[in-house]
Amino acid sequence: MKNIKKVILIIILNILLILQTNIFAYEIEEETDYIWLQQEIENVSANPISEPNLNSRYAIVLDRNSKAILFAKNENQRVPMASTTKIMTAIVLLENLGVNNNLTLDTQVEVCKEAGTIGGSRLGLKTGDKITVNNLLYGLMLCSGNDAAIQIAVSIGGSVEGFANLMNKKAQDLGLENTHFVTPHGLDKPEHYTTAYELALIADYALNIEKISQVVNTKTYTVSINGYAKTITNTNELLGYLNGVNGVKTGFTNGAGRCLVTSVNRNGFNIITVVLGADTKKFRTKDSISLIEYTYSNYELVNLEEIINEKFNEWCKINERRINVYKGKENNLKIKLENYNHKIYPIKKDNIKDINVEIKDIQMNFEAPVYTHTKVADLVLSIGKEKLFDIKILTDDNIERKDIKDYIFECMEILF
């Protein structure tokens, strides 16, 4: 009898352990200490740092315009990302409304049992509740509702597994090689992971969707569940408190640690910071503030287009007429710069004086026929000895090869 009791007790303990691992892997967001937050913001702003010293194990700062990495720490390591997963959930939701379904943001859905019984951070849905897709989206991104995430997955993908397939298809479309999704909410699973770098790319893509940009920049919102109003608050502690912050998403699981993806815009200088694997909420907040203030204290947007055009035009005045086309119906070529994206670029303030532009690998002689977009040279832009990028100098017209008639006319011109 005693042995049977022991076996039953062991079974109960194992069940409780499983439940704790799966249901409580999400810790409910603890209250933000706004007095501490204000002091930390003032402290970092008053004492600019030359290099961040982070508690977070993985981090990145991405410039949204150029996609340049301005700071990185273990940014390519595959790690769990907790509720920051929901950024991709929101993307897949909005891009699949009306695709093989009749859903719109105004559609009211009935909450399934799987969503109504999920643990962790919740919007507060119960099985059978009625709620619109729009309110599910706000519940997903503001209060990080796991119940909202499950319901979105079931409504859009038919099941959590079906929705995960859509998430992974989107990751593949975005060219993400180190990201894989198993759930719509980010519960710790061995095959659910991303990197700080690829999570920044996901956030950058998401912010180009107007609805997501609007939702993540909302501090409080009133949803309706079964016709009853409920006001929810954004878990992003920096929103509304740190200059320029306009999103994006918090996260926490036992496996991922404290996570925060933040987007900031100051005078057109748009960045995304990601911190993953912080030990506490205060560490993730402090690290994010440090990365943001470090970036704006040390980097400046530089108009590289003006610098490049000045050097190119100067070189053209001297060299364009010297380019010779052998056996061509015309002797001279018109040239141009290829299209390039990095016209405005963030550069460390101390390095702006070291910007250098050179013209290399020049070809001055061609044999006809010569076609447009043929490479003439490379314009190389460097900061000190470090190459930033290069731009091809190309032909801007076609020159045909001379035929027998052309040679006859040339002879006649010489004779007469």
| Residues identified as active-site | 83, 86, 144
Please tell me the distance from the alpha carbon of residue 365 to that of residue 376, in angstroms, as a whole number.
Answer: 9
Of residues 65, 398, 59, the one with CA closest to residue 262: 59
Partner residues linked to 390 by β-bridges: 380
Instruction: Let me know if 199 is exposed, middle or buried by CB neighbors in 10 A (0-12, 13-18, 19+).
Output: buried
Return the axis-axis angle of helices 146-157 and 86-96, rounded to nearest 10°. Answer: 30
Token pair 């249901």 is found at 23
